[in-house]
Amino acid sequence: MRLSTSSLVVLLALSAGADRTTEAGEASITDPNAECTPYYYAPVSDHSSDFPAIWQHPEEILSNDSEGQAKFDAMSASIPNIPPKGTLNGDFSGMNYPASDPDCWWTDSKCITPKLAGLQPDVANVPEPRTLGYGFDDGPNCSHNAFYAYLESRNQKATMFYIGSNVMDWPLEAQRGVADGHQICVHTWSHRYMTAATNVGAFAELWYTMKAIKLVCGVTPTCWRPPYGDVDDRIRYIATQLGLQTVIWKYDSNDWSVGTNGVTRQTVQDNYDHLINLAQNGTFDTVGAIILTHELNNYTMQTAMDNYDKLTEVFDNILPIAVALNNTTPYVEKNVTSPTFAEYTSGTTTTSSDSNADAAPASDPESGGESESARSSGANGKTSTASKGAASNSGEGSGQRAQGSSGARTRAVGLGGAGAGVALLLGGLVAGGMRVLFGV
């Protein structure tokens, strides 16, 4: 039996007793290969039947989800009569959409002011001058420890748009986002083009991501970002009924699309430099900006670190979007509060939590309180400023997004039974690795 170097690193980490049961233990792992090794997490396993299949678009509400069904039924009759557009994978080639843009379809026109009465405009910039609303899509990434440690070392908080399937795949990584004081928002369950979904499918993409974040992190987001920016007034209405504010962007780093459509790493750097030049030229002297960036893989995270100091030189403030909007209660749970813009810019960057409000069940994403998993892990406590690891360039390609990205890994994380099978499997692998290394 021959094992690769990366496999041996993982096996040695396991044999050394790396803690894969708590947020702090997981955050202390610095090798990306070890970070991305599957682990068992009981709260996810225990609630696996409450969620759709990982990375599959949920076309309906689960039969055992009476709460979700009641929530959808309450809004169903009032959902705008706007037909779905294209396919879930973004093929709009058969569309004959009116030039008047009656649906405020962002993909077609970059429309951010809904045509439907009663809907709030999308958040596409921040009101504070010379300010950058800082955030990252597609997390939590299994290898993000170096990146999050870097942000922590700079006392920098951000808005993290988490994919529900990633939260279930990597729950301890999701908990670190909350523990480090970042704002957590919804980025759908399976990262599909939302305007292609049926009413119930769009609802389920948002609902089950909210439930996953509540289960794992103990908080319920009040914000979301549509994958690819694909949103219209029908989808906005469904999100609004779930208490979610739609957050878009105006400037795109295109870090997510390197290697496609002629986008290169130099293209991405040029996009960062363009934003920096605009800031230098006074473009944001009255209204700030939001840039689209990702924790999709080690390249996108390293690129963010490489450009961070450049951004701090031209923006007076870099902060989470909620803070830039002076939203001090970014979650349904009002016991969790974030600083005001004035507080953050004067040095108070931590998110605080009242530990007394912990009575809500994990299955209810809109009722407030802490979930069992958050209480046991400490993920809902006051933000720590101590670094949990050293930032480094950890290489390429550990990000998870869209179709077919979990497979057996999901089973190891949380969809097994009592976990004994996983423990035996890992124990066997460690024993095999020891035999290869030491001939035992």
pLDDT digits (tens, 9 = 90+) for 159-186: 999 999 999 999 999 999 999 999 999 9
- Per-domain residue ranges of the chain: 1-40+416-440, 50-401
pLDDT of residue 388: 30
Using CA atoms, how far apart are residues 250 and 279, in angstroms rounded to an integer? 14
Beta-carbon contacts of 413 under 8 Å, excluding residues fewer than 6 positions away, are 38, 39, 40, 41, 44, 168, 169, 170, 171
Residue 340 has φ and ψ, to the nearest 5°, of -70, 170
Contact 6, 143 (CB under 8 A): no
Looking at 3.40.50.1820, 3.20.20.370, 3.20.20.80, 3.40.50.2300, the CATH number of the domain 50-401 comes to 3.20.20.370
Taking the CA atoms of 133, 310, 137 and 233 in sequence, report the sign of the dihedral they define.
Answer: positive
pLDDT of residue 12: 46
Catalytic residue among 137, 138, 230, 233: 137
> In the block, which residue shows the tokens 């609004």?
240
> Which residues does the chain have with pLDDT short of 50?
1, 3, 5-6, 8-16, 356-363, 369-399, 402-440
Beta-carbon contacts of 191 under 8 Å, excluding residues fewer than 6 positions away, are 138, 163, 165, 227, 401, 402
Using CA atoms, how far apart are residues 315 and 280, in angstroms rounded to an integer? 8
Contact 161, 136 (CB under 8 A): yes
Number of Cβ within 10 Å of residue 75's Cβ equals 15
294 is catalytic: yes
Catalytic residue among 144, 182, 294, 358: 294
Using CA atoms, how far apart are residues 384 and 395, in angstroms rounded to an integer? 27
Among candidate residues 226, 279, 219, 240, the one with its CA nearest the CA of residue 111 = 226
Residue 410 has φ and ψ, to the nearest 5°, of -60, -40
pTM as predicted = 0.82
Using CA atoms, how far apart are residues 284 and 299, in angstroms rounded to an integer? 28
Among candidate residues 199, 264, 272, 267, the one with its CA nearest the CA of residue 236 = 199
